[in-house]
Structure 1
Amino acid sequence: MMVRLDQMNSEEFQKYLSFAIKYFADEQIKSGNWKLEEAISKATVEYEKLLPEGQDTENNHLFTIRDGSKEVGMIWLAQITNEKGFIYGLNIWEGNQGKGYGKKTMQEIEVLAKKFGLKSIGLHVFAHNNIARDLYEKLGYKEKNIKMEKTL
């Protein structure tokens, strides 16, 4: 496996954005945060705030993950301050999951983050996403906050 991170072009970004809005909306519904009828519009607003200039939004680095010429996923790293980064998205496309692409991508993004001068990287993972939580813990990411809620 030879993982390479290539800056997204506009076509790849549009494909990612369509996927990401739906995925984020679905995850918010699963978590009990949003209702079905409002989820897509709320997710769209969030992405418009985070990426007002699309893939050209300053301090945001959106990459297509490739294994050779094959597209296997995407990762989005935002530079929050001069020293802190935040991964807003890591998605390995269906059919490519469970093959080590997530782990290798995280290792590659850490190399790039250091080149950008970052000293730390944060990320968010939904509590129900045990596969992602396990991966991040194995890579040395530590929980900093835990939000808990009870539905009545």
Structure 2
Amino acid sequence: MKIQAASASQYQAHMDLVCKTYPEGIARAHKLPLETARELAKKHTLDELPQGLHTKGNYFYVLLEGEQELGYLWLKDFSGTYLCLFDIYLFEPYRRQGYGSQAMAWIKDKARELNCPSVWLHVFGFNQAAINFYRKNGYGITEVNMRLDL
């Protein structure tokens, strides 16, 4: 597998996926109507990417096997304080085949290259498969948000 900088069209395809999956996660995690979650996700994404693909400190990559696109990565360098994995997306047919773990190893190397002492990420609490995947790749939980529904 190789990982290379995303083109403008690959960036747009990735953002189209983010615009679909991120609001779904927000809606499920926070028990919000999907439309409300879409508005929150759009605001958050626009706040993070005011110049889109060219927003300073943000890096967008495509994961490839030969010419076949396997998925996408979005990383943000917080001025060398830490590298944030904003999004990793593997297309369904390529999941659970080791590509995700290869990408996570590559991300560690990228963090070192950028002189970032750690890599951070967010995962929704309901996404146990992702939590298990990140733990398997050496990540630990740094905080937990909890809610009581009345």
Residues 14-25 of structure 1: matches in 2 within 5 Å? 14-25=12-23
- Whether contact under 8 Å (1:22, 1:43) holds in the other structure is no
Alpha-carbon distance in structure 2 between the residues aligned to 1:42 and 1:145: 22
Whole-angstrom distance in 1 between the partners of 2:23 and 2:64? 26
**Percent of paired sites with the same residue:** 24
Aligned to 2:33: 35
Q: Residues 5-50 of structure 1, C-alpha deviation per residue, up to 9 Å, x if partnerless?
A: 1111110111111110110000011112532221222211111111
Which residue, out of 39, 42, 50, partners 1:52? Answer: 50
- Using the size of structure 1 for normalisation, the TM-score is 0.93
- Return the alpha-carbon distance in structure 1 between the equivalents of residues 79 and 65 of structure 2: 30
Measure the CA separation in 1 of the matches of 2:77 and 2:133: 22
2:112 maps to what in 1? 114
Q: Which stretches in structure 2 are left out of the alignment for 5+ residues?
A: none
| Alpha-carbon shift at residue 63 of structure 1 (Å) | 0.5
Offset at 1:104? Answer: 0.7
Matches within 5 A, 1:1-150: 3-150=1-148
> Counterpart of 1:92 in structure 2: which amino acid?
L
Partner Cα distance (1:142, 1:63) in 2: 24
Distance 2:94 2:77 in 1: 27
- TM-score normalised to the size of structure 2? 0.95
Q: Which runs of 4+ in 1 moved over 6 A?
A: none
Counterpart-to-counterpart distance in 1, 2:120 and 2:97: 24
Distance 1:56 1:68, change over 3 A: same
What is the alpha-carbon distance in structure 1 between the residues aligned to residue 35 and residue 42 of structure 2?
A: 13
Counterparts of 2:139 and 2:72, CA distance in 1:
19
- What are the ranges of 5 or more consecutive residues in structure 1 without an aligned counterpart? none
Please give the secondary structure, in 1, of the residue aligned with 2:149: coil
Q: How far 1:71 moved relative to its partner? A: 0.5
In structure 2, C-alpha distance between the alignment counterparts of 1:61 and 1:114, rounded to whole Å: 15
**1:141 aligns to what SS in structure 2?**
coil
The change in CA–CA distance for 1:86 and 1:33 in structure 2 (over 3 A counts) is farther
